[in-house]
Chains A and B, each alone.
Chain A
Amino acid sequence: MAGNRLVLTGSAVVSALLVGCTGTSGADGRAQQADALRVVGPFELHSLDPATSEGFFTRLGVAETLVEADGDGRLQPGLAVAWEESDGGSAWSFTLRPDAVFHDGTEVTPEAVTAALEAARDEPASPLADAPVRAVTAERGGVRIELDRPYAPLPAVLAHASTQVLAPGSVGADGRVEEVIGSGPYRVERVELPSVIDVVASDGWAGERPDVERISYQAVGRAESRALMAESGQADVTFGIDPVSRQRVEGADGVEIASVTLPRSILLKVDAGHEVLGDVRVRQALSAGLDREAMATALLRDPEMAATQLFPPSLPEWHDETVPALEHDPRTARELLAEAGWTPGPDGVLTRDGERFEVSLRTFPDRPELPVLATAVQDALRELGIAVEVQLGNSSDIPAGHQDGTLELALYARNFALVPDPLVTLLGDFRPEGADWGAMGWSDQELTGTLADLADGADDATADAGREAVAGILQAQLPVIPVAWYRQSAVVSDRVDGFTLDPLERSWRLDELSWSS
């Protein structure tokens, strides 16, 4: 008898615990439902600093940059309503929005903007640090930026999240950002590093007040967990949905999938200074050996994402329909390899002068499709007789291998719109001395010259011809071998209307959402 009673007491305690907790959750859930939009994504926030907060606060509409951009990369007014170049392109003036106010009630002054830009210039990870800026000075109603030489993409650089303008009160005595006081439509209510950010609509915002009053962002590392949250209605907007989960969630009630092609390409970096891979015929053979359509269909569940050239259609100015598409052609690949002197050895692996065709391929798991794509590349190249060893490590292994010269092949996704003008990324990635996330041991005078001309500023027709030339050279020389393009998906619950994805990933556009009636 006593035993039974004990069991009963035990179960009662447990049920009370569970019921107590669920009861609270019901109340919490309803309170949240009343006003907060629940956003879930894979990204964690590790610091409030503009250079390392990975654009969280610009995406959430808390902080603003001088220049904004629409989905096609066209520049739009941000904190600056207008900008113009002077002195033959070696100086730029930006006029500030007169009604701009920080969330602490102070005005957005030219001095505050200057301080923010100076801080960005000191950050090695900011593209502003690489721009030829000589001085930033405050002037009446705006800021003036003097350059060492003309630099046409400067306004696009000032759209990068690292140049976001925070109030002077954001920075503590030691120069570190202690709280994020921006000037956007939302202000920060609570930040719990690394995973929670709550924002509310700001009363000081002069523009239209957003329909969604509160947003609560939660970082969730595992893709399975995010998909389950979306499915169970625990999230209103879920970013970072992998292809497999996307297929499953598509069938769930009360949610929709939004997707957009990003200006991001998955590519194979090749050491073109390598004694084997330096031969352009070998690079072309590697490219022809890849069945990109099969890889995109089977692994990305999206055949349209098979790359036919480096620039995806989401970069309309750079995507060139006229270049011959990269195609799967194993026969040509074998011929090219034979021309380069490679013949199959006894075990099927190609050899030349007693040397076996063995290379390593580095990649990392931060983007979950990379490791599986790497093994597909490995398999495709094995068909050609090339033995590829896949090394799965940290993203930094790729720049490290570039620096010490041990890198042979690397697979990663490159974002060409880190700033809205892809030219800035290309100038870095294809500079003659090579770049950590670009060419290695490869340079082309015509390409270098064309990119430099584009940076100096060119009229539309010249610029079009220049971009065409760049796309053509990259397609023929293959300093990097395109593998796939990239589609970003988000799951949106039917509680909200009007959700769209920004192809440049600059904004989550949550201020444009409305609650569905």
Chain B
Amino acid sequence: MAAGRAELVLVTSVPLPAAALQDGSARPPAGGDGARPGRLARRAAVRRVLAQRCVQAVSVTVLVSTACFAVVQTLPGDVAMRIAAGRYGYDGVTAATADAVRAELGLDAPAWQQLLRWWADLLRLDLGTSLVTGRDVGAELALPVASSLQLAAAALVLAVAVGGAVGTAAARHPGGLLDRLTTVWVAGARALPPFLLGLLLIVVFSVHLGWLPAVGHGSTSSVVLPAATLAVGLSGLFARVTRDTVAQIGGSAFVAFAETKGLRRRAVLVRHVLRNAGLTLVAYLGVQAVLLVEGVVVVESLFAWPGLGHALVHAIFWRDVPVLQAAAVALGLLVVLVNTVVDLAGLALDPRPRRREVVS
């Protein structure tokens, strides 16, 4: 344990000699005393991140839901008519059903009153009821949120596993065959629109090979194709970033030093290269998770995956304002959550101390 800590200090002090020299924690560890301020500093940093992100979550909720409300007000078409079309289908939407909807939902009230009502409800953590189905919005969105999280998580795991492994391998011989293949893969994967890629995967794995279900949400295996569709696009870029980061760190002085002092290559890779690369990769992963949201809408529609993208599209089409606001807020909060996790993971991974005044 002590040896590991000493190495970490060395790692950071090479690229940042000035900081390291002024830094209290860069002194040789003197028994248990050095650990306490370090832990305190980390705890303070974690608290700071959580506090910042909480503020962000609240402001995202208010801003996103208000913006959604404003956007719906400016959309063309009569809201009651749209809701009636959602409820009764195109055979049943008439002026009479729309009038009944208008009277039932109080849509004649001025927009600012409707917005105030939403804010008041939100304060009580009441998301309201869907204008189309009449169900509680929380219940309405429980399945979509869970489904989207499941899909996004599966896609990320797949992308990280494939992209990370390929990128690390490619970095060993920059310019080698695998490296060049990775470049082709990156370009190809990004150039294929998810819609086309999804169809190709269905045709190959479902129609011809019969290995996987084409569409649906019933069995555990149905997540594989949609997740793979999303993961292919992500894995290419992830491989590229991993390769660049690992190659760059691999060429740095502290890795050369670690090798010189006789560490095995595996130990150098895991303890020095990957930990430092992890910082960049985790941050990059955060950005990718946000981009996932964008791909999810198309992929969910193709694979009939009952996720947030699906719920959002329907809510917009039907002018189901409470569901729309809640779905958009859920997506916004998802981004905040991902950023929080990325920050905390960065803190945990980063061997450099964050703030000197807490330490000294």
The prevalent SS among residues of B at the interface is: helix
Docked-complex contact B77 and A394, CB < 8 angstroms: yes
- Residues of chain B lying within 8 A (CB to CB) of residue A11: 162, 165
Cα A418 to Cα B92 with chains together (Å): 10
Given contacts A22-B224, A221-B301, A394-B85, contact A436 B94 (CB under 8 A): yes
Docked-complex contact B172 and A3, CB < 8 angstroms: yes
* A441 → chain B closest CB, angstroms: 15
Q: How many residues of A contact B (CB 8 A)?
A: 67
- Residues of chain B lying within 8 A (CB to CB) of residue A18: 224
Q: A192, A232, A394: which contacts B82 (Cβ < 8 A)?
A: A394
Docked-complex contact B206 and A228, CB < 8 angstroms: yes
Cα A437 to Cα B96 with chains together (Å): 12
Docked-complex contact A24 and B169, CB < 8 angstroms: no
Docked-complex contact A395 and B93, CB < 8 angstroms: yes
Cα A221 to Cα B215 with chains together (Å): 10
* B169 → chain A closest CB, angstroms: 5
Cα A219 to Cα B133 with chains together (Å): 17
Interface string of A375-401 (1 = CB under 8 A from B): 000000000000000000111110110
Find residues 229-258 in chain A having any chain B CB closer than 8 Å to their own CB: 229, 231-234
- Residues of chain B lying within 8 A (CB to CB) of residue A10: 161-162, 164-166
* B310 → chain A closest CB, angstroms: 8
| B170 to A, closest residue via Cβ | A3
- Residues of chain B lying within 8 A (CB to CB) of residue A21: 212, 220-221, 223-224
Docked-complex contact B265 and A2, CB < 8 angstroms: yes
Given contacts A228-B202, A229-B215, contact A3 B168 (CB under 8 A): yes
- Residues of chain B lying within 8 A (CB to CB) of residue A403: 95
Docked-complex contact A47 and B162, CB < 8 angstroms: no
Given contacts A22-B224, A176-B134, A232-B214, contact A225 B303 (CB under 8 A): yes
Interface string of A4-20 (1 = CB under 8 A from B): 11110111011001100
Indicate whether A25 reaches chain B with its CB closer than 8 angstroms: yes
- Residues of chain B lying within 8 A (CB to CB) of residue A220: 215-216, 304
Interface string of B212-255 (1 = CB under 8 A from A): 11111111111110000000000000000000000000000000
Cα A216 to Cα B133 with chains together (Å): 22
Cα A395 to Cα B87 with chains together (Å): 12
- Residues of chain A lying within 8 A (CB to CB) of residue B89: 54
Find residues 53-85 in chain B having any chain A CB closer than 8 Å to their own CB: 77-78, 81-82, 84-85
Q: Chain B, interface size: which category?
A: 35 or more
Docked-complex contact A219 and B304, CB < 8 angstroms: yes
* A286 → chain B closest CB, angstroms: 23
Docked-complex contact B95 and A195, CB < 8 angstroms: no
Indicate whether B86 reaches chain A with its CB closer than 8 angstroms: yes
Docked-complex contact A7 and B165, CB < 8 angstroms: yes
Docked-complex contact B211 and A22, CB < 8 angstroms: yes
Docked-complex contact B212 and A22, CB < 8 angstroms: yes
Q: A4, A125, A234, A436: which contacts B214 (Cβ < 8 A)?
A: A234
Indicate whether B98 reaches chain A with its CB closer than 8 angstroms: yes
| B140 to A, closest residue via Cβ | A193
Cα A234 to Cα B210 with chains together (Å): 9
Indicate whether A366 reaches chain B with its CB closer than 8 angstroms: yes
Q: A1, A25, A232: which contacts B207 (Cβ < 8 A)?
A: A232
| B90 to A, closest residue via Cβ | A395
* A37 → chain B closest CB, angstroms: 14
* B143 → chain A closest CB, angstroms: 7
Cα A464 to Cα B140 with chains together (Å): 50
- Residues of chain A lying within 8 A (CB to CB) of residue B97: 124-125
* B29 → chain A closest CB, angstroms: 28
- Residues of chain B lying within 8 A (CB to CB) of residue A234: 206, 213-216
Indicate whether A218 reaches chain B with its CB closer than 8 angstroms: yes
Docked-complex contact A218 and B87, CB < 8 angstroms: no
Interface string of A38-49 (1 = CB under 8 A from B): 000000001101
Indicate whether A51 reaches chain B with its CB closer than 8 angstroms: yes
Docked-complex contact A46 and B169, CB < 8 angstroms: no
| B224 to A, closest residue via Cβ | A21
Best-surrounded residue of A367, A396, A397, A399 (most CB of chain B within 10 A)? A396
Indicate whether B257 reaches chain A with its CB closer than 8 angstroms: no
Find residues 413-430 in chain A having any chain B CB closer than 8 Å to their own CB: 415, 418
Closest 4 A-B residue pairs measured CB to CB?
A: A10-B165, A25-B221, A396-B81, A395-B90
Contacts A10-B166, A232-B202 known; 18 new A-B pairs at CB < 8 A: A3-B169, A6-B269, A7-B168, A17-B158, A21-B224, A25-B219, A29-B213, A29-B219, A46-B86, A125-B88, A225-B214, A225-B302, A228-B203, A228-B207, A229-B216, A234-B216, A393-B77, A394-B82
Residues of A within 8 A of B (CB): 1-7, 9-11, 13-14, 17-18, 21-22, 24-25, 28-29, 46-47, 49, 51-52, 54, 124-125, 176, 192-196, 216, 218-222, 224-226, 228-229, 231-234, 364, 366-367, 393-397, 399-400, 402-403, 412, 415, 418, 435-437
Residues of B within 8 A of A (CB): 77-78, 81-82, 84-100, 132-135, 140, 143, 157-158, 161-162, 164-166, 168-169, 171-172, 199, 202-203, 206-207, 210-224, 265-266, 269-270, 301-304, 306, 310, 314, 317
11 contacts between A and B (CB under 8 A): A14-B162, A125-B84, A176-B134, A220-B216, A233-B210, A396-B81, A396-B84, A397-B77, A399-B81, A418-B91, A435-B94
